[in-house]
Chain A
Amino acid sequence: MTATEPTPRATPSVPTATATSAAAATLTPTATRRPSTFRQYRILLGKDLRREFRTREMLTSMGIYAVLVLIVFGTALMQASAGFDVLPVAGGLIWALIVFTSLLGLNRSFSHEKEEAALEGIMLVPLDRSVIFLAKASANVLFLLVVEIITLPLFYFLFLSGSALAATFGLAIVPLLVGTIGIAGVGTLLATITVNTRGQDVLLAVLFVPLVFPLLYACVAATSVALLGGEDMMATFGPAVALAAAYDVIMILVSWLLYDFIISA
């Protein structure tokens, strides 16, 4: 950690700790009545967002990393002929960018909880463990969406400004949203697993990429046809988005069910 950032270790007002004590405080007056599940969710999510708002740790690192990936893409395509059209592979490149950036973010999303033993603090509060999953996954969705909002226009500016985008390019938002939700859902479960292992960064990638492959496949297909357009674009776009959504529902449900076991271990 650099000196400019507020070090949570030194200051007593650690965001994670305050949230925990806040959640605990609401319990004490009426011990019989817990705060509603939605309130627990809001407190946990607010804790992550506040922490990010103060340190800007995740967004800065993810944003810079995304730009670096764009530079690598640019270098990779540099030797192509002058009139080379990136558009047919743009969908794939966008998803490569998102997967790599999300890996970075997912890795960090639990490591700071681990450092401060903040997760143990949260675990002491008698709340439904799957709420922790939903809150973490939502935070990851939000961070990823913010990074996408910043980097995708940059991607257009750097690679696609000469290409003729199809009129349907706006539809690409649908697979982007569905894919981001799925990545955050599965990724949150796997990040919780890998944070307790040796070599966590590599292991997360090893488990995450094959597991998220079906979603990636569907989202690349949907994004590509949305950018390219064409007569039978809907024949691919429809099933791809529907299957990606089905993946989201099934995998998030399974992750949500398994989360209690994982975080208690």
Chain B
Amino acid sequence: MTEKPNIFDRLAPALLVLGALLTTAAFILNFTSAPLVQGALLPDNGLAVIGGQVVTNKLLLSQKIFYFHMPVAVTSFVALLFTAVFGVLFLVKRNSHYDLMAKVATEVALVFILMTMVSGEMWERFEWGVWWTWEPRLTTYFILMLLVIGYFILRNAIDDAERRATYAAAFGIIAFIDAPISLMITRLVPSGAHPVIFRTDSGLSTPMLIPLLLAMFGFFCLAFALYRFRLRQQTLKARLDALKTNLED
């Protein structure tokens, strides 16, 4: 059996390099050209002139986490979108390759969800002074993480390949639909006990937007390259397993 040369597999190493370059560039620009965001007002109407600009607020370093945190979160969600799309494709076409693709996409999603969680935790620990609070976005991501972990527990609990693929596809689809609803409900239902405590750091200036976008595209490239590498390995493993059962018969 000769392996079909796949355009994506040939692209993957290049994308890995591109992703590494982009995220490195984003990392450097993040700490050099992007200005620090302004936090609380200085006491007693204090002001100072730094680099020809009047500064009246405290400058925050903690927001630097955001430049990687947000792109990573977006990437994880894109990966989950792929899980759902491959799930639908599997249910329609009944080709086990789609199941493998969905599984690997979910693995990548889990990696990026974990990255989102750890970076978010660090920011939260410094800014809010707690390790955990039931804040809408935080809670949603926690639930999302549990859903993705549940996806793998479900896969491990079924022996029959066809059935495993079908159940995993269905759960992947329903989990992907559940996540936005979860975000919407936790944000839109006013909570009586706890005020919603997040600042929206919208209105990023261009020097801030550049590292953010670079990081976003860089992580897309990295995620895709990792996905292809893993898929290639998993496909090989599946072929090997099929070969083994063939020989044993």
A interface list, Cβ under 8 A from B? 186, 189, 193-194, 196-199, 203, 206-207, 209-211, 213-215, 217-218, 221, 224-225, 228, 235-236, 239-240, 243-244, 246-247, 250-251, 254-255, 258, 261-262, 265
Contacts and interface: CB of A to CB of B under 8 A. Distances in A.
15 contacts: A186-B174, A193-B170, A194-B154, A196-B163, A198-B159, A207-B171, A214-B181, A217-B182, A221-B191, A221-B192, A236-B192, A240-B189, A251-B178, A254-B174, A258-B174
Nearest to A264: B166
B87 to A, nearest CB: 9
Interface string B146-174: 11011001100111001100110111011
B186 interface: yes
Contact of B143 (A196, A213, A247): A213
A131 B170 CA distance: 18
Nearest to B134: A217
- Residue with the highest number of chain A CB atoms closer than 10 Å, among B91, B166, B178: B178
A199 B159 CA distance: 12
Complex A-B, nearest 3 residue pairs according to Cβ-Cβ distance, in ascending order:
A265-B166, A197-B157, A210-B146
Contact of A239 (B175, B177, B189): B189
Contact of B190 (A199, A214, A235, A244): A235
Given A193-B170, A258-B174, 14 more contacts: A193-B167, A196-B167, A198-B157, A198-B159, A206-B154, A215-B185, A217-B182, A217-B189, A228-B192, A250-B177, A251-B178, A258-B173, A261-B170, A262-B166
The secondary-structure label for the interface of chain B is: helix
A34 B170 CA distance: 29
B49 interface: no
Contacts of B153: 203, 206-207
Contacts of B174: 186, 189, 211, 251, 254-255, 258
- Residue with the highest number of chain A CB atoms closer than 10 Å, among B143, B173, B185, B190: B185
Interface in B119-165: 143, 146-147, 149-150, 153-154, 157-159, 162-163
